[in-house]
Structure 1
Amino acid sequence: MTKVLIALDYNPSAQLIAEKGHQLAKAMQAEVCLVHVVADASYYAVDYSPIMGFGGFNTANSIELIEELKKQAGEFLLSAAKHLGDAHVKTMILEGDSADAILTYADEYNADIIVIGSHSHSGLDTLLLGNVPAKILKHTKKPLFIIPTGQ
């Protein structure tokens, strides 16, 4: 195994996931790529009709908003890479549905294993948001290292 893909979100457990995934990669002498998915950035750029007095996000320029989301994700990944203390860690910002984006990029990157955390969501959260690790597990042929975070 030569390539480990580590998927991170903004949950505080991302530190644990990054560290455990990095440890696994180093034990295998593998390359590491940290990824973060900007989940359908266009969602934030939609102009809403006022609902109960809420006019939606300030989307004067949706392209700027999307670029800002990507910029923040890039800073997050660079910070995570710096935390790991490994100058060879690669980063990639993905867009779209989290599971689909991770699966697609894992193939493009030719990852040998995907590392992801499993958050403890309520049944309603899972119904509404889906379960990214479960979807990845269902659709990948690559080994998946799921780190339970209890969050």
Structure 2
Amino acid sequence: MTIPSVKTILYATSLSNHTRGVFQHAIDLANVYQAKLIMLHVLKPLSDSNIMAIQSYLSEKDIQKIQNVANQETKNTMKQRLADFYQDEMAGKNLPEIEQIVVKGLSRYAIVEQANKLNADIIVMGSHNKFGRSSATTRKVIKHSGRAVFVVPTDG
């Protein structure tokens, strides 16, 4: 039996503190396979009622500015997380190439969509959400992705 070729690993993160171990596993897998690591965070879309309320006070241009700021703040959080992680745990070790992506949507659908779009060989996710409950998102990604999903135990 041959080991499958792994060129791209998609690490789906909520950016919660309890997912640090999941990130470590994603980095370790990327190093073992010498694969590119893509760090994905999905921003939940606003509900229709929230959008209508906001539109009554702000112009489309202002709403777009707010969304751009939110995306940039999320990317900055991801960059800071990488820097902190590298300083704490990776100093002197190889850090794989890491691309950071932020998309809007429902996590379970957006993760599968991005895995397909990026032709990811493996998806890395945590087993539990930040509330300590088994992650429905992880279960749905496993069911619908059609690719290997590496699930790392988390405490939540």
User: Into which bin does the TM-score normalised by the smaller protein fall?
Assistant: 0.7 to 0.9
Residue aligning to 1:74 = 75
Q: Deviations over 1:40-81 (max 9, x none)?
A: 1x3395254xxxxxxx8xx64322221122111111222233
Indicate yes or no: 2:9 matched with 1:8. Answer: no
User: 1:145, CA displacement in angstroms?
Assistant: 0.5
Match of 1:116 among 105, 118, 125: 125
Where in structure 2 are the equivalents of 1:46-125 lying within 5 Å?
A: 46-48=51-53, 60=58, 61-82=62-83, 83-84=85-86, 86=95, 88-119=97-128, 121=131
Residue aligning to 2:3 = none
Unaligned 5+ segments in structure 1 are 49-55
Q: Deviations over 1:69-107 (max 9, x none)?
A: 211111122223333453721111111011111101111
Q: Per the alignment, do residues 78 and 122 of structure 1 end up closer, same or farther by CA in structure 2, a change over 3 Å counting?
A: closer
Q: Deviations over 1:95-128 (max 9, x none)?
A: 10111111011111110000011225577xx7xx
The structure in which a higher percent of residues are helix is 2
Of structures 1 and 2, the one scoring higher in RCO (CA 8 A, sep 6+) is 2
Q: Per the alignment, do residues 122 and 27 of structure 1 end up closer, same or farther by CA in structure 2, a change over 3 Å counting?
A: closer
State the SS of the aligned residue for 1:10: coil
Q: Percent identity, please.
A: 21
Q: Per the alignment, do residues 43 and 73 of structure 1 end up closer, same or farther by CA in structure 2, a change over 3 Å counting?
A: farther
State the SS of the aligned residue for 2:47: helix
Q: Is the contact between residue 39 and residue 98 of structure 1 (CA under 8 Å) also seen in structure 2?
A: yes
| Alignment RMSD | 2.5
Indicate yes or no: 2:28 matched with 1:19. Answer: no
Residue aligning to 2:35 = 30
Amino acid at match of 1:62: I
The more displaced of 14-23 and 114-123 is: 114-123
Amino acid at match of 1:43: S
Structure 2 length as normaliser, TM-score? Answer: 0.76
State the SS of the aligned residue for 2:109: helix
Residue aligning to 2:47 = 43
Unaligned 5+ segments in structure 2 are 1-5
Count of equivalent residues: 136
